[in-house]
Structure 1
Amino acid sequence: MYMREIFCLPLIKGGYAMKTWVVTICICFLAFGCGGAKAVKTAQQEKTKKVIYNAKNEMQSYYTYEYNIYEKERKMHYAPSGKLLSYFTYDYGKDGKRLKKSEFDVSNKLVSYTTYEYDATGKRIKKSEYNPENQMESYFVFEYDSNGKRVKRNKYTPDGKLSKYVMYEYNPRGKVAKKTDYDSNGTITSYTVNDYDGMGKKEKKSVFTPGGVLEEYTVYYY
């Protein structure tokens, strides 16, 4: 865990009331930091759960996430009954960028793994998926606009044939508001709409058919 070093100096010598005031100042500095310093995410700060439902509001499965100082440390996938189906682990570089994601079954056997590549500015440019035998199953190439926002994700077969792609749209706060999936011919196959709370955290993700019929949705808990 990363913690700030806090110094709490008494402002005025005094009785109980003044000591209480100094303690209050210390708590505020501990909670919010000094001079606008950015808080660092810790493993004990963040735990998230997402639950997936079909259009009939029936739970399909759910995931729980445990976070480290970079992003995700471990992801668990459960059946509605609470039975563990699989789990994921993550590896990171010294700069905090995710380098690898590995999926394991309940017997700790490797199911698949994904590797990530970045450009000189730190933007993710490629994601490659492999089976346990180290054979590539598919890979993704990401495209960005002049402002550095991701606008497109292309999925390819191992031999380099485009199989599908996704286009991204953003809300005024810079969050992904909509993702539209296309096949290799440019025909829409589905689209996803994201809803956020007032703090910018994702609350809900809804997947629709091209005609606007709800297929499934995911609810996030923090």
Structure 2
Amino acid sequence: MKKRYLGVALAATLLLSGCSVIDLISGAVPSQSTSPTPTAEPEVETPAEDWPVSLTKTEAGERYLQIVCQRNDAIGRWDAASQELADLINAGQEPLSDQVTAVANSARDVFLSTEWEIALLSDERYVWPDVVEAEIMTIIDSNERLLPTLQTEMNARTVDELYASVYPEYTAEERAASREVRLKLDIPADAVSSCIGYETDAESLYVELQQHLRDTQ
């Protein structure tokens, strides 16, 4: 699989300490014990994990669902909000700002989950089975082409701004790619029922990927 560069970085790091926040601000330190300082034990270096991992057909099917289902869920909410807005306009009613905001917010969720999906499908630690490698690359490419449209919609504040978004023209190969992956990996064709239980996995996997990238810099 051709090399991909991940352009999205997670910007939050949590630091845990034995002192409270108030102690740190006031300059206080924990009370000192008169016990002798214990001898520091030598650090044991954790052996590097063996990458890349060639996924079996079963493993690939499981990982594929973990990656794509959160985006599928977000797309469902985006479609519902967009359809509600379109129904109002077609009925000759003036949409409320809250309804435009609902479409913009759901587009933002799709934008984020699309970026996660691109990064995770491109993760070079995992090698997809040859039988779906071409389709995985096609999905990555088509997702990348959708990002500008999503960015326009997530920043929209009016109906006119929403409808200024331009959707890419997808080829027959692009439209069939996800269906072919499911078929070749023996994943059920129903994208709703097969995703039950996987609705939040992509975000967790993305956080883990970003931690790995920081650790290996």
TM-score (norm 2): 0.20
Structure with greater contact order relative to length (CA < 8 Å, sep ≥ 6) = 2
The structure richer in strand per residue is: 1
TM-score (norm 1): 0.19
The structure richer in helix per residue is: 2
